[in-house]
Amino acid sequence: MKTIVIKLSGSLFSMDSGPSGIKKIVKTLDGLARNGVKVVAVAGGGKLARDIQKTARTFHADEALLDQFGIDVSRIHAKLLTTVSNKACPDIPTTLDEVLRYSTSHPIVFSGGLSPGQSTNATAALIAERIKAKLFINATDVDGVFTSDPRKNKNAILIKAITPKDLLKKLGNEPMNAGTYDLMDILSLKIIERSKIPTMVIKCDNRRIKSAISGKSTGTKIIF
Amino acid sequence: MKTIVIKLSGSLFSMDSGPSGIKKIVKTLDGLARNGVKVVAVAGGGKLARDIQKTARTFHADEALLDQFGIDVSRIHAKLLTTVSNKACPDIPTTLDEVLRYSTSHPIVFSGGLSPGQSTNATAALIAERIKAKLFINATDVDGVFTSDPRKNKNAILIKAITPKDLLKKLGNEPMNAGTYDLMDILSLKIIERSKIPTMVIKCDNRRIKSAISGKSTGTKIIF
Amino acid sequence: MKTIVIKLSGSLFSMDSGPSGIKKIVKTLDGLARNGVKVVAVAGGGKLARDIQKTARTFHADEALLDQFGIDVSRIHAKLLTTVSNKACPDIPTTLDEVLRYSTSHPIVFSGGLSPGQSTNATAALIAERIKAKLFINATDVDGVFTSDPRKNKNAILIKAITPKDLLKKLGNEPMNAGTYDLMDILSLKIIERSKIPTMVIKCDNRRIKSAISGKSTGTKIIF
Amino acid sequence: MKTIVIKLSGSLFSMDSGPSGIKKIVKTLDGLARNGVKVVAVAGGGKLARDIQKTARTFHADEALLDQFGIDVSRIHAKLLTTVSNKACPDIPTTLDEVLRYSTSHPIVFSGGLSPGQSTNATAALIAERIKAKLFINATDVDGVFTSDPRKNKNAILIKAITPKDLLKKLGNEPMNAGTYDLMDILSLKIIERSKIPTMVIKCDNRRIKSAISGKSTGTKIIF
Amino acid sequence: MKTIVIKLSGSLFSMDSGPSGIKKIVKTLDGLARNGVKVVAVAGGGKLARDIQKTARTFHADEALLDQFGIDVSRIHAKLLTTVSNKACPDIPTTLDEVLRYSTSHPIVFSGGLSPGQSTNATAALIAERIKAKLFINATDVDGVFTSDPRKNKNAILIKAITPKDLLKKLGNEPMNAGTYDLMDILSLKIIERSKIPTMVIKCDNRRIKSAISGKSTGTKIIF
Amino acid sequence: MKTIVIKLSGSLFSMDSGPSGIKKIVKTLDGLARNGVKVVAVAGGGKLARDIQKTARTFHADEALLDQFGIDVSRIHAKLLTTVSNKACPDIPTTLDEVLRYSTSHPIVFSGGLSPGQSTNATAALIAERIKAKLFINATDVDGVFTSDPRKNKNAILIKAITPKDLLKKLGNEPMNAGTYDLMDILSLKIIERSKIPTMVIKCDNRRIKSAISGKSTGTKIIF
């Protein structure tokens, strides 16, 4: 049976796009489930997580606790996803073992973050590794990996394919504070590399998710 | 040893008042703890809870699950409070037993909601009952109990003292949807009544909380 | 798939009626399960709970802890039910989330109480709400709702149909101590009302449970 | 610091002796705690456990599940004890690790059974071993170990001192069904023997418990 | 449906025999599962457990904690077994209730020890009792029960059939330290006896396990 | 109060050095605790972890599960440490929250790994961050950070001080398989950098640990 892990950008849950964006994507995942594909989708924390982390930072909370606030918010997002789906496990897992257990008895599992010190990207990569996923889709708030940050540089060009090692070099000098820009962090890449997980980095919208699932080229492909 | 349970209105955590309102109140509670008073403070869900419940309602989530979203948010609020305090238990309890356990080893415990079907008010009343609190302060977003809803009726008059039975009559016909206006709901009142818990309903600001703790008259007193 | 929640009166477990009463009802529920109906049955605490609460009261235990003793006994009753059934989940859930999880993988789940401050009636109503039950049967130790308490007043007349609001008015002034007479308490009614759960109040015997399930009129119907 | 483990016969909780018997013994244990002695007391299941086991047996429950019913009842008994004590941990442990954890932060811990296949006697012996108790008192419903069962044989003589090996021989041929007469079962004796735990078998009343604690001879002493 | 409980000797996991011994046996169990047999296999701790217990003993760890180290190691062994099987529950249970729960949703469950004071043999017997197994195979590091210890006495003769009572007599005087020679300890035998569990004691290799499953005579049969 | 986190190399637990090496170091930590220093020590998995991972790899276990085997072994090592100490929490934490909770009530907490995808080094760094440690000692099986791997290159020179960024560059291209050489992995360094945790990398022996604690220069210091 085919298994897919998809990381859903936290930006999906900000109120701008509204609930309709969430609905469409969950319907797509339900469709996959009906066709016998096993899905684990990991929700990000997004702006709400960053807002709470900002308040906690004014109280001098440590970074690991800030990570935990991000995890708490991402789990609320995951629970929201369960209310739309007809195929999902009603529980949100809190450990990697629970992800595995729930996914053996439910076609779809929605998860948030699992552990401080790990972005939801890295968590999704670990899950992909643990359940031996055939495809890991990282659905972010940008179109893929660019030659430079496209939000700062208009001339940034989308990279169609890149190795974990090359991507690592691009990211190596970035800071790692809770909630910062984390397109694909180092830990995720190390995991993708060590287990050679087939990975796509795409924008988080329903059309492109469908394309990525059906194997069409969109965004950036991680190659080995 | 004196024990106090205080319900902190979810409105405290909306970004308007800013983190300074939270800081002041936690400092007051830390001061109590230094003077040997045992404190359990229960955070409400507020606007953030209502926003998430609104989204979930568009997905046709059941009311008990909407309650759960409110609990999840109130626990994040409780965790925020721990980051300010020097005296608080770092863990947020998830059952009444845990509240009791944590409060035997820490001077302050911050809690959110505990169970669907219970407002955070009712949860706070149950905690007050379980730890045999000498005072239960319900710090709300209004000045106390009024003859009618002061946000709708300019001529509403603050009631200085009222029995649970009379207050119950005032509230009996209100609906009980998750996140709706719940100054002091029926379950809270039934608990306050059955254990005769000394209770004050006041506005959630630092000055009035201090007054209530020192026994000064402010807001509405529940009498038996 | 049809789902039914049934509250089984604690009186079922007192030794007078003997194990045969239990056996018959569980066989009926097993039959439902075989026909594809999903069942959650909530056991009450009954006389055993009240006896233990009475002893604990002489030790000045608080009311919330007395509730907990009732929950403990009701879980033993629920576990007894599992030993008769061929279709039931072997685990007794301890949270609303667990009820939901177990009921997705087992045709029958037996539960006791879940939270202090909630009668097993209210717990059953919350479960009915959470699993979107098509029918909630409250099988009590009386024939239904009467114009007055039939155990005190010989002229009490069975009410065939009543709204939650009207029933609430009848019950509003009753006390809420752990283990007291609780035909249908306020919290249950608020939940039934907010989610418009189809509800029957009947006597807890096998014949009437069968009638209620097959839609026949018996006891009191809650109407909206 | 001195540590004592005491097994309290389930017969203490039957309604004949009434709550006053319980009160006296807990007061004695509270007194010990005030003098710096660490106490773990393990409650038996008694008649209530046997009644429930009898019903479950008519439903063909397996023996391990019958053991579990006994554990459930013994935990209710342990919780009853906490309501009398001023020194006890409010939680009832469910694993040996929890017993140890709770006893490091509370002067008294009340426990019930911990594991199917173990009598509460054996559980108490394991706890004595794990917390390196200086004394294990097995307070039973008889005066100690007799040359034969004193309830069947009027000429039975109390044995003042006996080795585990000799006691083992006396018990070797008894059956081990849940809830049967289990003065000191084989598993308990094996544990007492392997760790050379100083042990007294006495009748469960306050006067004799006090004697045993102060080192006076009463009942039967296990010698090595 | 047929259910089998098999205790796998800890010696299987020592590196001498290598991973191929493990592989063969798990393949046999997977085959059983494919034929509709429900299997619970309990792994022993073996030499690794004894090594760790030896170190802990030099630190004066109590016997109950030594038991716990044995349990920890046996759970690692159980987890190793899951990595070979295609039919096994990915989780290792930690209570008897979890064994039952996992075995209702998975054809094979691998377990280690569950409770201090119980050998993995006794744990396996309890599991056999709880899931009402039709056959309990105790696969040890010897060929079965002998007239004396075959590792010390060359003339020891294999006993083809023996009652629990007679076997008990043979074992009655052996010590019960954590990790010692425990072919079939007293607690196991008491459980086998009280529930009349059909039991075979055989050597832990694939050929003999297959024979025992298919009902052929090998090793020692416990008779009633 | 001063707080120290120390990572103890898994090599400490291999049988070559024997239990005496463990004893000395725990005595040093107990001494710190007596002087009011709070200590969390994280045990590595060492050779035993690598042996089990090697076996599991022949069974094609995924990398995340291999990490879990390493965590299981490191927890056994942590539990061994508790048997030597007079000051340690008897429980081994399984989440970051538990580390924090246990360390508020015990002077010493011994931990193993906490989460797959994290080396025990990274776990120790996260703990140092969460409990706001004044010093993080990484006690490894080498003398500190060298210009190249001293086990392969005789001319490797010990680096006295290095920034996280420079150390990151040295490690950037190393693989991240479970159990491989991981002097100080990337995740650890990112955490040390984001929270500017004062860190020493030294050899795991008692003399050097004492030196590092008293602020003397030994091994490699991470500078900012």
Mean pLDDT of successive 10-residue stretches along chain D, which has 224 residues: 93 80 96 96 96 95 95 98 96 95 94 94 96 95 85 87 87 56 73 94 93 88 94
Q: Is E150 exposed, middle or buried (0-12, 13-18, 19+ CB in 10 A)?
A: middle
Name the average pLDDT for chain B. Answer: 90
pLDDT at E1 over 70: no
Q: Closest-CA residue in chain A for F169? A: A172
Residues of D whose CB is below 8 A from B97: 90-91
3-state secondary structure of C80: helix
pLDDT at B178 over 80: no
Confidence at residue C154, expressed as pLDDT on a 0 to 100 scale: 85
With an 8 Å Cβ cutoff, is C110 touching chain D?
A: no
Place F181 in a pLDDT band, splitting at 50, 70 and 90: very low
Query: Measured between CA atoms, how close is B214 to chain D, in angstroms?
Result: 28
With an 8 Å Cβ cutoff, is E63 touching chain D?
A: yes
The token pair at B183 is 């100054």
Q: Closest-CA residue in chain C for D57? A: C83
Confidence at residue B137, expressed as pLDDT on a 0 to 100 scale: 96
Cβ distance C117 to B122 less than 8 Å, yes or no, reads yes
3-state secondary structure of C7: strand
Query: Left if phi > 0, otherwise alpha if psi is -120 to 50, otherwise beta: which for A179?
Result: left
Report d(CA B217, CA E149) in Å as an integer: 84
Residues of A whose CB is below 8 A from E89: 104
Closest to A105 (Cβ–Cβ): which among C97, C100, C105? C105
Chains contacting chain D through 3 or more C-beta pairs under 8 A: B, C, E, F
ipTM of the complex: 0.92
pLDDT at B172 over 80: no
With an 8 Å Cβ cutoff, is B197 touching chain C?
A: no
Asked if A72 and A48 count as a contact pair (C-beta separation under 8 A), the reply is no
Confidence at residue D128, expressed as pLDDT on a 0 to 100 scale: 97
Angle formed by the axes of helices A46-58 and B63-84, nearest 10°: 30
Closest CA to F164 of A175, A166, A63: A175
Closest CA to E179 of E61, E4, E41, E10: E10
Mean pLDDT value of segment E50-57: 95
CATH class of residue range D3-222: alpha beta
Strands B108-111 and B38-43: parallel
With an 8 Å Cβ cutoff, is D116 touching chain C?
A: no
Report d(CA A5, CA A130) in Å as an integer: 11
Cβ distance B63 to C129 less than 8 Å, yes or no, reads yes
Residues of A whose CB is below 8 A from B23: 59
The DSSP result for B6-46, as a single string, is: EEEPGGGGSTTT-HHHHHHHHHHHHHHHHTT-EEEEEE--H
Asked if C13 and C84 count as a contact pair (C-beta separation under 8 A), the reply is no
pLDDT at B37 over 50: yes
When scoring F91, F98, F103, F110 by the number of chain D Cβ atoms within 10 A, the one with the most, hence best to mutate, is: F91
Q: How is the beta sheet containing A108-111 ordered, strand by strand?
A: A108-111, A38-43, A3-8, A135-140, A199-203, A220-222, A161-162
The pLDDT > 90 percentage for chain F reads 73
The pLDDT > 90 percentage for chain B reads 73
Asked if B192 and B164 count as a contact pair (C-beta separation under 8 A), the reply is yes
Query: Measured between CA atoms, how close is D76 to chain B, in angstroms?
Result: 14
Place E181 in a pLDDT band, splitting at 50, 70 and 90: very low
Cβ distance C96 to B64 less than 8 Å, yes or no, reads yes
Confidence at residue E215, expressed as pLDDT on a 0 to 100 scale: 85
Report d(CA F72, CA F50) in Å as an integer: 12
Closest CA to C75 of C100, C45, C108, C105: C45
With an 8 Å Cβ cutoff, is A153 touching chain E?
A: no
Place F61 in a pLDDT band, splitting at 50, 70 and 90: very high
Range of lowest pLDDT (B94-103, E17-26, F193-202): E17-26
Angle formed by the axes of helices B63-84 and C186-195, nearest 10°: 110
Range of lowest pLDDT (B202-206, C171-175, F213-217): C171-175
Report d(CA F44, CA F203) in Å as an integer: 14
Cβ distance D106 to B101 less than 8 Å, yes or no, reads no
Report d(CA C125, CA C80) in Å as an integer: 22
> Could you report the per-residue pLDDT of F134-163, keeping only the tens digit for each?
999 999 988 998 888 777 888 889 999 999
Name the average pLDDT for chain E. Answer: 90
Range of lowest pLDDT (A58-67, D164-173, F90-99): D164-173
- At a CB cut-off of 8 Å and minimum separation 6, what does A81 contact? A8, A22, A26, A41, A43, A88, A110
Report d(CA F77, CA F71) in Å as an integer: 10
Strands E135-140 and B108-111: unpaired
Confidence at residue B181, expressed as pLDDT on a 0 to 100 scale: 46
Q: What is the pTM of this model?
A: 0.91
Report d(CA B20, CA B7) in Å as an integer: 18
Closest to D64 (Cβ–Cβ): which among E117, E126, E176? E126
Q: Which amino acid is at C165?
A: K
Report d(CA B221, CA A27) in Å as an integer: 52
The pLDDT > 70 percentage for chain E reads 92
Between B172 and D78, name the one with better pLDDT.
Answer: D78
Asked if D31 and D85 count as a contact pair (C-beta separation under 8 A), the reply is no
Cβ distance C97 to A91 less than 8 Å, yes or no, reads yes
Torsion angles phi and psi, residue F38, rounded to 5: -90, 135
Q: How is the beta sheet containing D161-162 ordered, strand by strand?
A: D108-111, D38-43, D3-8, D135-140, D199-203, D220-222, D161-162
Closest to D117 (Cβ–Cβ): which among E132, E187, E193? E187
When scoring C171, C177, C186, C197 by the number of chain B Cβ atoms within 10 A, the one with the most, hence best to mutate, is: C186
> Running DSSP on this structure, what letter comes out for residue E146?
B
Mean pLDDT value of segment B129-140: 95
**Beta strands, E only, B14-143:** 38-43, 108-111, 135-140
When scoring A91, A92, A108 by the number of chain C Cβ atoms within 10 A, the one with the most, hence best to mutate, is: A91
Chains contacting chain E through 3 or more C-beta pairs under 8 A: A, C, D, F
Bridge partners for F145 per DSSP: none
Strands D199-203 and D220-222: antiparallel
Distance of CA A181 to the CA centre of its chain: 13
Closest CA to D131 of A207, E47, E64: E64
Confidence at residue A181, expressed as pLDDT on a 0 to 100 scale: 46
**Beta strands, E only, chain A:** 3-8, 38-43, 108-111, 135-140, 161-162, 199-203, 220-222
> Could you report the per-residue pLDDT of A191-216, keeping only the tens digit for each?
999 999 999 999 999 999 999 998 88
The token pair at E35 is 């034929």
With an 8 Å Cβ cutoff, is A187 touching chain F?
A: yes
Report d(CA B218, CA B9) in Å as an integer: 16
Query: Measured between CA atoms, how close is A89 to chain E, in angstroms?
Result: 15
With an 8 Å Cβ cutoff, is F165 touching chain A?
A: yes
With an 8 Å Cβ cutoff, is A104 touching chain E?
A: yes
Confidence at residue D147, expressed as pLDDT on a 0 to 100 scale: 87
Place B177 in a pLDDT band, splitting at 50, 70 and 90: low
Cβ distance A72 to B68 less than 8 Å, yes or no, reads no
> Could you report the per-residue pLDDT of C121-137, keeping only the tens digit for each?
999 999 999 999 999 99
SS3 content of chain A, % helix, strand, coil (to 5): 45, 15, 40
Cβ distance C64 to B190 less than 8 Å, yes or no, reads no
Q: How is the beta sheet containing E161-162 ordered, strand by strand?
A: E108-111, E38-43, E3-8, E135-140, E199-203, E220-222, E161-162
Confidence at residue B165, expressed as pLDDT on a 0 to 100 scale: 87
Residues of F whose CB is below 8 A from D105: 105
pLDDT at B175 over 60: no
Asked if E156 and E149 count as a contact pair (C-beta separation under 8 A), the reply is yes
With an 8 Å Cβ cutoff, is F132 touching chain B?
A: no
With an 8 Å Cβ cutoff, is E126 touching chain D?
A: yes
- In chain E, positions 6-45, which contact chain D (CB-CB < 8 Å)? none
Mean pLDDT value of segment C55-83: 96
Bridge partners for D32 per DSSP: none
Closest CA to F108 of F27, F46, F23: F27
pLDDT at E174 over 60: no
Range of lowest pLDDT (B179-193, C18-32, D43-57, E11-25): B179-193
With an 8 Å Cβ cutoff, is A69 touching chain B?
A: yes
